[in-house]
Structure 1
Amino acid sequence: MLRRLTIRDFVIVDRLELDFGAGFGALTGETGAGKSILLDALGLALGDRADATAVRNGRERAEVSAEFDLPVDAGLAAWLAEQALEIEDDVLILRRVVEAGGRSRAWLNGTPVTLAQLREAGEWLCDIHGQHAHHALLRADAQRGLLDTQAGAGALAAEVAVHHRAWRQAAEQRQRAEADTAASARERELLAWQVRELEELAFDPAQWAELNQEHSRLAHAAGLMAGADEVLAALGDSDLAAAPLLARLGSRVGEMAGIDPGLDEVRGLLADAAIQADEALHALRRYRDRLDLDPERLAEVEARIGAVTDLARKHRATPEELPGLLDDWRARLEALTASADPARLAERETAARKAYEVAAARLSAARRPAAEALSAEVTEAMQTLAMAGGRFEVALVPVAGGSVHGDEEVEFLVAANPSQPVRSLAKVASGGELSRIGLAIQVMASRASATPTLIFDEVDVGIGGGVAEIVGKLLHRLGRERQVLCVTHLPQVAACADWQWNIAKAERDGEVLSRVSVLDGEGRVEEIARMLGGVNITDTTRRHAAEMLGQG
């Protein structure tokens, strides 16, 4: 759950350090005091987009950090391990800095992360329902996404989309091939000839280097033989040959060193030189023995080099690039051959369709029980939200031939009273009814979620009286299972909270800033009385507030 939120120079907040408790907490205050700003700051720490307007006027940067307990669910821990992000004492600290120029940076437990990583981590920790969230429920994509979340089928829905695209792509390939057989045949013929030509060449890059070395040796064989003979004569095959001369000189200096040890170093150097000269002599003799003039082999090598360079020049490539060209042509020829085979393309299309059908059937099987459960839960909640006899249904409408979203579309249907048939939520719900139904859906959806912290930002807009009290009790029950925070203007909702904060504006040095007060028992009575009575708070209003809080 959320433990601490620290805010610096964010919009109209200068410095705030807020410690959060468990259960259901209410954030109340006058309109414009900054209640939603706190949630905006938390959203920033959770990866929401931000720009320079987030920075308090005249400051260089805004900074927000949120400290969470690591959820019991092992999914986040596994994700953190995959990202090589360390955990200390089962605590996660998400930190975000936005500079006055608009640049944004993020950290998780002190390690720099991308905005996408911060947002993904935030999805495990906190779920924020905005004050206009019920309007989003009018969209088909939002309804489908909510049901898939309820069913735990998000990954399966993504798999279905992949299979559907593969199926459509296979069908399009077959159709294109049928419409362009002549051009495809010409290209296949050219590619087949080019592939055959390169395969017959049997070019090997490693052998190419060796072939060039052999050509250089054969082409210069006469010069190499003459040079070897000359060096051999100088080293050991003449009267003044170097190798025996060094040996004699070394022996003479050895005799002199017997008289004067100061010549030991010279004697050693000459001895080493004599040994190396002798080794060079033997190595050069072996090399000379292998040398021979071979005009026939030279002609063969030159012919091979010519064939390779001619073919490379023909295709405007270097010899070293020929293997890559061959691989590309083979792949293209294989693709064209496959596309020119109607039976093979039909088989591929059929296989792709079957893969889609299997995945789509699994998705439908996951959606059906989730749709039934959500329908029953929201219908039950509607009975207590001033819509007795109303019904809510999650309809799964079959789609002929399937779609990227599966074999059915998801549609929310509602009847606000028992005399009406169920119709599309977008068409029949009034503003107040939509607020109540939307709140019921959000609360029920949150109960099925594993997210430990749930935040409702003025989602009770459009309700009041006894319905507001029921909503408050609903959130209070939810707070027994999760940490629930709610920004509200309704005293009936706030009175049901386990704890309450007041957010107000205060002026300091000519600047208006937002302040947060943690309310004790007496403070809650005063705040609930303000919410009930407005400007003039009477003793009667206070007694009513105390009664609502269970203190009267």
Structure 2
Amino acid sequence: MLTGLSIRDVVLIDTLDLEFGPGLGVLTGETGAGKSILLDALGLALGARADSGLVRDGQPQAVVSVSFEVPHDHPALDLLRDNALEPEPGEPLVIRRIVKSDGGSRAFVNDQSASVGLLRDLGSLLVEIHGQHDDRGLLNPRGHRALLDAYGRIDTLACEGAYRDWRTAEAKLAATREEIELAARDRDYLQHAVAELAKLAPQPGEEEELAELRANMQKGARLAEDIAVAGQLLEGSEGGLSLLRQAARRLERIADEHEKLGEALAALDRAVIEAADAEDRLAEAAEALAYDPARLEEAEARLFEIRALARKHRVEPDALPALAEDLAAKLHAIEVGDESLAALETAAHDAHRRYAEEAARLTDARAGAAERLDAAVAGELAPLKLDAAKFRTVVESLDEAHWSAAGRDRVEFEVSTNPGAPFAPLIKIASGGELSRFILALKVALAEEGGATTMIFDEIDRGVGGAVASAIGERLHRLAEGAQLLVVTHSPQVAARGNRHLLIEKSHQGLVTRTSVHALGEDRRREEIARMLSGAEITDEARAQATRLLEAA
């Protein structure tokens, strides 16, 4: 709900602060008083194109701020969250727009810089402005299906789920078919590659193991003689280890005879242990570096085969086992492709059938809702002096290429304004106050389903009076019970229905002209309605008639 409008230096308005409440608010004033300035200022705050002509003469900039109370579940809050601009709980949503005299502009949401595009998106969620050139809201066919669904309380969730399942099944079928077709073109290659890899059967890490084995055997061939001589010098009855042990046994018999002999024995014992360890290490090295020409040739041949196959397939040697599994899986997919495709085709067909059933239910429900809506709108047309007009809701099937989660229907509101005239979109055949009255009839019939909670009607009563103006006022008052309405009007019958009355006046002080807006109390309101009834000179009869209108409202 719009709660406040603040204007600084916009055209004829230097300073203006207005507060708004729920229900029906009416704005009146003589022709040329500046009612359009208020709507231009509000439109500017809601993302309209910035025009330096809006800046008051002699001022560097114009500033417009609007504030809204937004329920916690309002879609505008989702948009603000997506842009990190959500107000604190309990705080109003404040939108501010600055237009400079050189044409530049800036936009703010909750005192944070924002794009004009975001302001437009917010404005479409917060306010509907219905004027003589409006092409949004009810006049936009893209929103008619959702409005009809809301009017008919039509639940689309089952259809949305069926649509997702169908599209998922179709996508899986298409992807599998493409994979099989691609693989089938390479059948001969796959068969050869799988057989080649299966024959070689490379194992993870095998290339590194073979390279290490070859390197060790090559070292062994070079070091074999030295290792053998070293082993001979240590081993046997005449080897170094045997001689050390013999010396230790001799010293052991005489070690107690002198301190130094004991130390010598201890040193010999350590030497024996170290020599024995060296002997073990030499044996291990000899085994690890054992040179076997046949085995070396075999290891080198397999290593070269693995590396050659890796180069052929442009992968690392360690990736060959995974490649073998992948190619085998592709070959298997070709061999069982017909079976898997048949299963997926069946699943896609079943999903399509379920979607078609759910979409058909929506079509039937929409057809029923369309009949009820047409009857409801028809009941509103005659009192609004549109008794020659006809309204219909078109529900027709779309091509399958345009089916969606919302079903397979195109919905559009159409009217015929004269007997025998063809039906056509509302915006193409209605104009002026007639257009606004059609919108009002729709709004009342739809009970404000799917629309913004703040609506502005600009001169909806243009060209009508008497009973028609009374009918318009009664319907605006009824519509305002569930929404906030602001109406710019020249009709006393409409003005009398308002919960609040704002008077727009123009004044002159020397060469300076200003527009001001005043909230009217009971007495001034009666006087303004009397002026609207009688013109420049307010008569007692006009005052009495104004009183009757207010009492009847």
TM-score bracket for the superposition, by shorter chain length: 0.5 to 0.7
Is the 8 Å Cα contact of residues 197 and 324 (structure 2) preserved in structure 1?
A: no
AA aligned to 1:443 is V
Distance 1:98 1:325 in 2: 67
What's the offset of the Cα at 1:310? 2.6
What's the offset of the Cα at 1:494? 2.0
Is the 8 Å Cα contact of residues 207 and 317 (structure 2) preserved in structure 1?
A: no
Tell me the secondary structure at the aligned position of residue 25 of structure 1.
Answer: strand
Is the 8 Å Cα contact of residues 309 and 319 (structure 1) preserved in structure 2?
A: no
The 5-angstrom pairing of residues 85-484 of structure 1 reads 86-97=86-97, 105-107=107-109, 109=110, 125-133=126-134, 141=142, 143-144=144-145, 146-151=147-152, 159=160, 188-193=183-188, 217=212, 221=216, 292=289, 295=296, 296-312=298-314, 347=346, 350-351=349-350, 353-387=352-386, 392-394=391-393, 396=395, 404=403, 406=407, 408-410=409-411, 412=413, 424=423, 435-449=436-450, 451-484=452-485
2:488 alignment partner in structure 1: 487
Distance 1:148 1:103 in 2: 39
Tell me the secondary structure at the aligned position of residue 5 of structure 1.
Answer: strand
1:257 alignment partner in structure 2: none
- Kindly provide the CA deviation profile for residues 420-448 of structure 1, in whole angstroms up to 9, marking residues without a partner as x: 68962659977565553332113333533
- Kindly provide the CA deviation profile for residues 135-188 of structure 1, in whole angstroms up to 9, marking residues without a partner as x: 986775565454244345596699499679959x89x989xx9xxx9xx99855
Is the 8 Å Cα contact of residues 436 and 463 (structure 1) preserved in structure 2?
A: no
Is the 8 Å Cα contact of residues 413 and 423 (structure 1) preserved in structure 2?
A: no
Distance 1:449 1:367 in 2: 16
- Kindly provide the CA deviation profile for residues 203-225 of structure 1, in whole angstroms up to 9, marking residues without a partner as x: 9xxx9995676577557548989
AA aligned to 1:456 is F
2:25 alignment partner in structure 1: 25
In structure 2, relative to structure 1, the CA distance for the partners of 1:444 and 1:54 (3 Å cut) is farther
In structure 2, relative to structure 1, the CA distance for the partners of 1:353 and 1:507 (3 Å cut) is farther
Structure index of larger Rg? 2
Query: Structure 1 length as normaliser, TM-score?
Result: 0.63
Distance 2:106 2:158 in 1: 33
Distance 1:41 1:395 in 2: 37
Distance 1:292 1:189 in 2: 50
Tell me the secondary structure at the aligned position of residue 461 of structure 2.
Answer: coil
Is the 8 Å Cα contact of residues 532 and 541 (structure 1) preserved in structure 2?
A: no
Is the 8 Å Cα contact of residues 411 and 424 (structure 1) preserved in structure 2?
A: no
- Farther-moved stretch of structure 1 (385-394 vs 23-32): 385-394
What's the offset of the Cα at 1:378? 1.9
1:520 alignment partner in structure 2: 521
Identity among equivalent pairs (%):
31
Distance 1:140 1:332 in 2: 52
What's the offset of the Cα at 1:362? 3.5
1:260 alignment partner in structure 2: none
Is the 8 Å Cα contact of residues 436 and 457 (structure 2) preserved in structure 1?
A: no
Is the 8 Å Cα contact of residues 5 and 66 (structure 1) preserved in structure 2?
A: yes
Is the 8 Å Cα contact of residues 385 and 467 (structure 1) preserved in structure 2?
A: yes
Structure 1 unaligned segments of length 5 or more: list them: 238-280
1:242 alignment partner in structure 2: none
Distance 2:327 2:464 in 1: 67
In structure 2, relative to structure 1, the CA distance for the partners of 1:210 and 1:163 (3 Å cut) is closer
Is the 8 Å Cα contact of residues 71 and 452 (structure 1) preserved in structure 2?
A: no
RMSD across aligned positions (CA): 5.9
What's the offset of the Cα at 1:464? 2.8
What's the offset of the Cα at 1:42? 3.8
In structure 2, relative to structure 1, the CA distance for the partners of 1:467 and 1:302 (3 Å cut) is same
Tell me the secondary structure at the aligned position of residue 55 of structure 2.
Answer: coil
What's the offset of the Cα at 1:304? 1.7
In structure 2, relative to structure 1, the CA distance for the partners of 1:452 and 1:530 (3 Å cut) is same
In structure 2, relative to structure 1, the CA distance for the partners of 1:189 and 1:391 (3 Å cut) is closer
What's the offset of the Cα at 1:24? 0.8
Tell me the secondary structure at the aligned position of residue 447 of structure 1.
Answer: coil
Distance 2:492 2:287 in 1: 105
Distance 2:476 2:186 in 1: 69
In structure 2, relative to structure 1, the CA distance for the partners of 1:18 and 1:224 (3 Å cut) is farther
- Kindly provide the CA deviation profile for residues 15-49 of structure 1, in whole angstroms up to 9, marking residues without a partner as x: 54321122210123355655344345444555x45
The 5-angstrom pairing of residues 51-90 of structure 1 reads 51=50, 53=52, 56=55, 64-71=64-71, 73=73, 86-90=86-90
In structure 2, relative to structure 1, the CA distance for the partners of 1:220 and 1:397 (3 Å cut) is closer
- Farther-moved stretch of structure 1 (368-377 vs 214-223): 214-223
Distance 1:161 1:511 in 2: 66
AA aligned to 1:503 is I
What's the offset of the Cα at 1:467? 0.7
Is the 8 Å Cα contact of residues 45 and 96 (structure 1) preserved in structure 2?
A: yes
1:255 alignment partner in structure 2: none
The 5-angstrom pairing of residues 496-511 of structure 1 reads 496-504=497-505
Is the 8 Å Cα contact of residues 338 and 345 (structure 1) preserved in structure 2?
A: no
- Kindly provide the CA deviation profile for residues 67-94 of structure 1, in whole angstroms up to 9, marking residues without a partner as x: 2223265777777778776553433414
AA aligned to 1:300 is R
Is the 8 Å Cα contact of residues 173 and 339 (structure 1) preserved in structure 2?
A: no
Tell me the secondary structure at the aligned position of residue 311 of structure 2.
Answer: helix
Distance 1:334 1:466 in 2: 78
Is the 8 Å Cα contact of residues 210 and 303 (structure 2) preserved in structure 1?
A: yes
Query: Structure 2 length as normaliser, TM-score?
Result: 0.63
Is the 8 Å Cα contact of residues 338 and 344 (structure 1) preserved in structure 2?
A: no
